[in-house]
């Protein structure tokens, strides 16, 4: 765990909670903007704030439709740095219809800022009810295994910076976190528009003794999983077969892709799955030239000692690896399509470098985002539903669980008729 690496984080939560404004204020207060960007905050064509008040959301609302409608549709990435750390921010949509975009942004995030608009909740009960999209996004972050969650209670300036309201929201989210089994949660009371507790401590909330948002982000440890993946047995999904001169006597045949886990050395015995053939590594090439060994994350061209039929979608694994090709998997998925899941249809499953037909054998349950109960009375999933399913693939695949390795434990489902991406999935077990 280190704090000197790049931190990737997203903003999540319900619509109009102030995600884009928060990022704009963060960039503005950390002096990460150019002069023309600052001018646009005050004089932008689609400015939505009063004269003299900057419209921070314009920094991340990159699409014309976003600026015109005042909503976030696409994922906007911004890069900035402080003396302590470098950051990559993903501003994700809050609207339910753009949940797929939120999943895209969250899939590579080390941390997530869940924005909650304190002015929109009902405080007649001791524990106010959180909005559905806040609950849905939190459930997705659990599925994706996001390491750190920061709950930023926004717009407290509209509630006279009430500590009581902040504590009520904290109780509500703690209850949600317990149900979802979320950990490593920090709570910050803020006003994104006014800059309270964004970069420096707010004079309006002396009752809050924690770190402001930016210092907290600078201090978060990042587990890059490199040591865990390096210790795992080698797994190399083949993306492309490279041939130089098919008619020459010294014909070159190399297998290109990225080493997703483990280490490979020249002379190592390997298996080629799903066929189960064996060979040894004869040569390893990187973009910088020939090497004797390579570690996880490296883009490689591998040459085998034997002439074996290897194609895109096959996997080269360490000979002593326990990984075996499987045809049945269990997975958690988020359904993206307006057409409900239909177990009578076939879908394409895209996993690492291969795409295979798959059949959904059953829906184990779907998650009710209101009650957070697992409903087992449904055999389908609707738009933005989260559930657990069982799948059978036409051709065996070499996969890990998502928890063990996100790169080899994730997949998407594609409608074979429309070519629409209908779901994103995380493998939980295989057989």
pLDDT, tens digit (0-9, with 9 covering 90-100), for 52-61:
556 666 665 5
Q: Rounded mean pLDDT of the chain?
A: 86
Confidence of residue 245 (pLDDT cuts 50, 70, 90): low
The 10 Å Cβ neighbour count of residue 222 is 18
Note whether 421 and 101 are within 8 A (CB): no
For residue 64, what are the contacts with CB-CB under 8 A and spacing of at least 6?
none
Supply the pLDDT for residue 256.
Answer: 96
Does the pLDDT at position 325 exceed 80?
yes
pLDDT average, residue stretch 260-269: 96
Residues of the chain with pLDDT > 90, as a percent, come to: 60
pLDDT average, residue stretch 129-153: 91
- Tokens representing 259 are 């080493």
Does the pLDDT at position 63 exceed 90?
no
Which segment of 45-59, 276-290, 359-373, 393-407 scores lowest on mean pLDDT? 45-59
For residue 423, what are the contacts with CB-CB under 8 A and spacing of at least 6?
333, 334, 335, 336, 337, 341, 381, 412, 413
Residue with tokens 């949509």: 93
- Tokens representing 141 are 């972050």
More reliable by pLDDT, 27 or 135: 135
Does the pLDDT at position 246 exceed 80?
no
CATH of 7-224, one of 1.25.40.10, 1.10.3470.10, 3.40.50.300, 3.40.1190.20: 3.40.50.300
Supply the pLDDT for residue 52.
Answer: 54
Reference 43, options 29, 56, 54, 57; nearest CA is 54
pTM passes above 0.85? no
Torsion of CA 334, 104, 115, 126, to 10 degrees: 10
What 3-state DSSP class applies to 205? coil
As its CATH architecture, domain 326-430 has Beta Barrel (2.40)
Q: How far apart are CA 317 and CA 73, in angstroms?
A: 40
Residues of the chain with pLDDT > 70, as a percent, come to: 86
Supply the pLDDT for residue 61.
Answer: 52
Confidence of residue 312 (pLDDT cuts 50, 70, 90): very high
pLDDT average, residue stretch 300-329: 94
**Is 326-430 in the same CATH topology as 7-224?**
no
- The domain limits of the chain are 7-224, 228-318, 326-430
Confidence of residue 44 (pLDDT cuts 50, 70, 90): low
Reference 301, options 288, 286, 281; nearest CA is 286
Q: How far apart are CA 425 and CA 130, in angstroms?
A: 26
Q: How far apart are CA 50 and CA 172, in angstroms?
A: 33
Supply the pLDDT for residue 67.
Answer: 41
pLDDT average, residue stretch 155-167: 95
Does the pLDDT at position 65 exceed 50?
no
- Tokens representing 163 are 């500590």
Supply the pLDDT for residue 169.
Answer: 96
Fold classification of 228-318 is Elongation Factor Tu (Ef-tu); domain 3 (2.40.30)
Supply the pLDDT for residue 369.
Answer: 80
Supply the pLDDT for residue 72.
Answer: 47
Instruction: Report, in this order, helix, strand and coil percent for the chain, each rounded to 5.
Output: 20, 35, 40
> In what order do the strands lie in the sheet containing 7-13?
76-81, 86-91, 7-13, 111-117, 148-154, 185-189
Does the pLDDT at position 69 exceed 50?
no
Helix or strand run (H / E) with residue 73: none
Q: How far apart are CA 106 and CA 326, in angstroms?
A: 28
Reference 157, options 212, 195, 213, 198; nearest CA is 195
For residue 225, what are the contacts with CB-CB under 8 A and spacing of at least 6?
none
Supply the pLDDT for residue 57.
Answer: 63
pLDDT tens for each residue of 182-233: 999 999 999 988 889 999 999 999 999 999 999 999 999 887 677 889 999 9
């Amino acid at each position: 765990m280190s704090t000197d690496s790049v931190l990737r984080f997203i903003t999540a939560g319900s619509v109009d909670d102030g995600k884009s404004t928060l990022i704009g204020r963060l960039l503005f207060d950390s002096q990460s903007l150019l002069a023309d960007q600052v001018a646009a905050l005050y004089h932008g064509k689609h400015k939505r704030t009063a004269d003299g008040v900057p419209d921070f959301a314009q920094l991340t609302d990159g699409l014309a439709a976003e600026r015109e409608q005042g909503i976030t549709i696409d994922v906007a990435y911004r890069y900035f740095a402080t003396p302590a750390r470098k950051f990559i921010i993903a501003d994700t949509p809050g609207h339910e219809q753009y949940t797929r975009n939120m999943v895209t942004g969250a899939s590579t995030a080390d941390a997530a800022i869940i924005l909650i608009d304190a002015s929109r909740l009902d405080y007649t009960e001791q524990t106010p009810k959180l909005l559905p999209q806040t609950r849905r996004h939190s459930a997705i972050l659990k599925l994706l295994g996001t390491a750190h969650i920061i709950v930023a209670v926004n717009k407290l300036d509209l509630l006279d910076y009430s500590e009581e309201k902040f504590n009520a929201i904290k109780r509500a989210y703690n209850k949600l976190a317990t149900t979802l089994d979320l950990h490593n949660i920090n709570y910050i009371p803020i006003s994104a528009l006014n800059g309270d507790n964004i970069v420096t401590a707010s004079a309006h909330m002396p009752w809050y003794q924690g770190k402001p948002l930016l210092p907290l982000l600078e201090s978060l440890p990042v587990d890059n999983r490199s040591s865990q993946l390096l210790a795992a047995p080698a797994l190399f999904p083949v993306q492309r077969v490279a041939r130089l001169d098919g008619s020459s006597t010294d014909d070159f045949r190399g297998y290109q892709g990225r080493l997703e886990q483990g280490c490979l050395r020249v002379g190592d015995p390997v298996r080629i799955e799903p066929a189960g053939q064996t060979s040894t590594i004869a040569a390893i090439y990187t973009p910088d030239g020939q090497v004797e060994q390579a570690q996880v994350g490296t883009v490689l061209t591998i040459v085998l000692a034997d002439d074996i039929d290897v194609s895109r979608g096959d996997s080269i694994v360490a000979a002593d690896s326990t990984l075996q090709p499987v045809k049945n998997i269990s997975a958690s998925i988020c359904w993206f399509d307006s057409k409900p899941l239909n177990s009578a249809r076939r879908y394409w499953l895209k996993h690492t470098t291969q795409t295979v037909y798959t059949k959904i054998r059953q829906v184990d349950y779907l998650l009710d985002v209101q009650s957070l109960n697992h409903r087992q009375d449904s055999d389908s999933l609707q738009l933005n539903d989260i559930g657990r399913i069982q799948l059978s693939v036409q051709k065996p695949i070499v996969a890990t669980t998502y928890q063990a390795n996100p790169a080899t434990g994730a997949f998407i489902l594609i409608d074979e008729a429309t070519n629409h991406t209908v779901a994103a999935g995380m493998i939980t077990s295989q057989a």
